């Protein structure tokens, strides 16, 4: 009896240790940072595909909560309708609710939050209170001037929006036909720039918040530097090279 009890206890302990190990090996709770123009969205999708964790964009969480009329969504809508910023006291619980959904059971990749130091502190505390561990923070590092050029250099192909062309990125520079720039994929000569991508003031404003190391987004990334492993990836090379470097670091 005593012997069996001992074996049972041992088996239970071994099983618990195995489950803990397995959880540590499979869980991937990740935050991703990168300026506009760094290809953060594309890299987020690559991580999602490789690890099967949902790529969660904060903007989508807002839209879903408002559409479904959740209590937090209704509160958020009030602020948005008045043209005010939604307080972190509403945003953070909304994000946490999303991270508790079934598809996040093996991990998540959160994109678009926190945007500033105060939000980083609020999220860090909320995750801790909820007993959620943060495994990695990804930072796509890109020089501010290059990020701006990448946005302003985007050109849309009239034939297919998915034909990437950028006058400032050598790898996807438009081709030339009779001295005119044409789509490098299909040769179509209707390449246009999106108005948003040419709004220099708006780009500067957004980058001003991102590159602010005192209270802005980089301050938020730095907040996690002392707490979690930060994976810095150089965003200067092409999309494929950045993906490879990122996946190598995550593996
Ligand atoms: Zn094309």
Residue 185 per-residue DSSP state: T
Mean pLDDT for the stretch of residues 182-198: 95
Mean pLDDT for the stretch of residues 13-25: 57
Q: What is the pLDDT of residues 22-63, one digit of tens each?
A: 444 457 899 999 999 999 999 999 999 998 899 999 999 999
Query: Considering the entire predicted model, what is its pTM?
Result: 0.84
Q: Catalytic: 154?
A: yes
Distance 140 CA to ligand 1 centre (A): 28
Distance 39 CA to ligand 1 centre (A): 20
Q: Is the pLDDT of residue 151 over 90?
A: yes
Distance 165 CA to ligand 1 centre (A): 8
The pLDDT value recorded for residue 23 is: 47
Using an 8 Å Cβ cutoff, are 61 and 55 in contact? Answer: no
Q: Catalytic: 194?
A: yes
Catalytic residue among 98, 148, 184, 206: 206
Q: Catalytic: 98?
A: no
Using an 8 Å Cβ cutoff, are 246 and 46 in contact? Answer: yes
First to last CA, the chain: 46
The pLDDT value recorded for residue 20 is: 54
Q: Catalytic: 206?
A: yes
User: How is the chain split into domains, by residue range?
Assistant: 27-153+200-250, 156-192
Tell me how far apart the alpha carbons of residues 26 and 35 are, in angstroms, rounded to a whole number: 28
Catalytic residue among 63, 177, 194, 249: 194
Of 37, 214, 230, the closest CA to residue 116 belongs to 214
One CATH from 3.40.50.300, 2.60.120.330, 3.40.1080.10, 3.40.1190.20 for 27-153+200-250: 3.40.50.300
**Contacts for 175 with CB less than 8 Å, ≥ 6 apart:** 181, 182, 183, 184, 187
Q: Catalytic: 82?
A: no
């Amino acid at each position: 009896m005593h012997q069996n009890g001992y074996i049972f206890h041992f088996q239970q302990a071994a099983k618990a240790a195995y489950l803990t190990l397995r959880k540590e090996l499979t869980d991937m709770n990740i935050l991703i940072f990168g300026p506009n123009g760094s290809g953060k969205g594309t890299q987020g999708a690559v991580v999602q595909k490789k690890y099967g964790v949902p790529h969660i964009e904060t903007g989508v969480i807002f839209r879903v909560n408002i559409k479904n009329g959740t209590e937090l969504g209704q509160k958020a809508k009030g602020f948005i309708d008045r043209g005010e910023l939604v307080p972190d006291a509403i945003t953070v619980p909304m994000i946490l609710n999303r991270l508790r959904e079934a598809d996040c059971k093996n991990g998540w990749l959160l994109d678009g939050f926190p945007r500033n130091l105060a939000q980083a502190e609020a999220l860090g505390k909320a995750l801790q209170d909820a007993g959620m561990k943060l495994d990695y923070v990804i930072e796509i590092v890109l020089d501010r001037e290059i990020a701006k050029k990448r946005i302003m250099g985007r050109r849309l192909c009239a034939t297919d929006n998915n034909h990437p062309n950028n006058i400032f990125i050598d790898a996807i520079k438009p081709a030339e036909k009779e001295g005119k720039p044409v789509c490098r994929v299909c040769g179509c000569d209707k390449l246009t720039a999106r108005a948003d991508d040419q709004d220099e003031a708006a780009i500067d404003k957004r980058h001003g918040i991102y590159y602010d190391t005192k209270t802005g987004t980089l301050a938020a990334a730095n907040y996690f530097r002392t707490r979690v492993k930060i994976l810095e990836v150089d965003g200067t090379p092409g999309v494929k090279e950045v993906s490879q470097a990122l996946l190598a670091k995550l593996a």
